[in-house]
Amino acid sequence: MSNLSRTVGVVVGVAAVAALATVPAHAAPAAPARFAMPALSGRYPVGTTDLHLVDRDRVDPWNAARQRELMVTVSYPAAGSDGPRADWMGTGVAQVADAVLSSEYFLDVPIGSVDWDGTTRQARTNVRVAAGEFPVVLFSHGWGGARELNAGVVDDLASHGYVVVSLSHTYESLAVGFPGGRVEYGVANEAELDHRKTAIDTRVADSRFVLDQLALIDRGRNPDAERDPLPRGLDDALDLSRTGMFGHSYGGYTAGEAMYADRRIDAGIDVDGAMAYSTPEPYFPGEAVRHGLDRPFLLFGGDFVENGQAVEHSHRTPEFDRTWADFWARQRAWKRDLHLDRATHYSFTDLQVAVPQLSGLLSPRRQAGIVGTIDPRRSLAAQHDYVAGFFDLHLKRRDRGLFHGPSPRHPDARFIV
């Protein structure tokens, strides 16, 4: 279900992403196209910082010469908005993203046509954390993706009063930029069954390790490998007694598996991801699918378009994704299946922001193939509202009424029963 991972694995080769990043641009425009991130919908300005975390008790399964290293981004409610805006994507990651996203599987434009490196987020650096304690939410990206590709929904959730921690899963992510300019590229191959199993096991371990590191911050310690200063007030802002997790694609699968493995996670969302490391045959569903969860979980899907026909991703279409149907039957706590009509898999990433602003480069058909035909503003508004509303309901005990039935504010969203 992930075109991005297929692009990495099929077009550029699993071990060749680094080489692709050095391909020169041919016939690219003199002035690359740019796009802007939308305004935040919550009441808080947002601050952000990156952390370099090293798990000294774990050898990296993708690189036995190293201990497991992660880069995470912490987005948080800020006391002000006087700091500079954060880069959406660092230069090293942006070079790889440019090569992959420019390919025929996505934009089909010359490399260098889009200034992925020049975009900034709404979140700001070097700003103090707002006063108070806030629930914590983890975010996990899709296979072959990058945490940067979902910065929009992460920052928006933070603006509603959450500390949101987005993970890059090193060597499985498209690319991960580390301090000092080091970039580690993806080596995991989605076509290999053992790689997919290793990936989900590693992702769950990554998620649990990050929760451990957040507990250290909560106790006043700094786990950053370089000991770079943490944002002022971060240690007082974490309410780890209220923790959630969500993810896109394989990251949604990760959210369910991490919840099953770790009771510190109170509620979760799978955004358009099959919950198995192999499907349809052989069928190896996750533990959350096999046993269900005893805490709230939301399925949030779009359409899959093949040969001009749209298939609804929901628990009612087991011929498309058996895992959602099996999870639905076994889920033991609050559950909803929310569908966004005319959205596609990549409508749930920042491509929903970028692609409509690149209309000068792309045909309407190309745009629709990437992010569907849903109105982009309505798509983003629905995603941001339902994600924040879900965590408001289950982490803050604040019911905004969004999950009682259809909302006139979001005509493209409907509940599958």
Rounded distance between C-alpha atoms, residue 347 and residue 32, angstroms: 23
Q: What is the mean pLDDT of the chain?
A: 94
Q: Rounded mean pLDDT of 282-300?
A: 98
Structure tokens belonging to residue 61: 């399964």
Write down the pTM of the prediction: 0.94
Where on the phi/psi map is residue 249: left (φ > 0), alpha (ψ -120 to 50), or beta? left
CA 70 to chain centre: 15
Rounded distance between C-alpha atoms, residue 41 and residue 345, angstroms: 23
Phi first, then psi: give them for residue 58, nearest 5 degrees: -135, 125
Does position 178 have pLDDT exceeding 80, yes or no?
Answer: yes
pLDDT digits (tens, 9 = 90+) for 253-287: 999 999 999 999 999 999 999 999 998 889 999 99
pLDDT digits (tens, 9 = 90+) for 350-381: 999 999 999 899 999 999 999 999 999 999 99
Q: Rounded mean pLDDT of 305-326?
A: 93
Contact call for residues 51 and 167 (beta carbons, < 8 A): no
Instruction: Name the residue with tokens 């992930």.
Output: 2
84, burial (CB in 10 Å: exposed 0-12, middle 13-18, buried 19+) = exposed
Does position 16 have pLDDT exceeding 50, yes or no?
Answer: no
The CATH homologous superfamily of the domain defined by 3-415: Alpha/Beta hydrolase fold, catalytic domain (3.40.50.1820)
26 — pLDDT class (breaks 50, 70, 90): low
pLDDT digits (tens, 9 = 90+) for 28-52: 677 899 999 999 999 999 999 999 9
Q: What residue spans define the domains of the chain?
A: 3-415
Structure tokens belonging to residue 206: 């990554």
pLDDT of residue 306: 79
385 — pLDDT class (breaks 50, 70, 90): very high
Rounded distance between C-alpha atoms, residue 266 and residue 248, angstroms: 18
Contact call for residues 405 and 416 (beta carbons, < 8 A): no
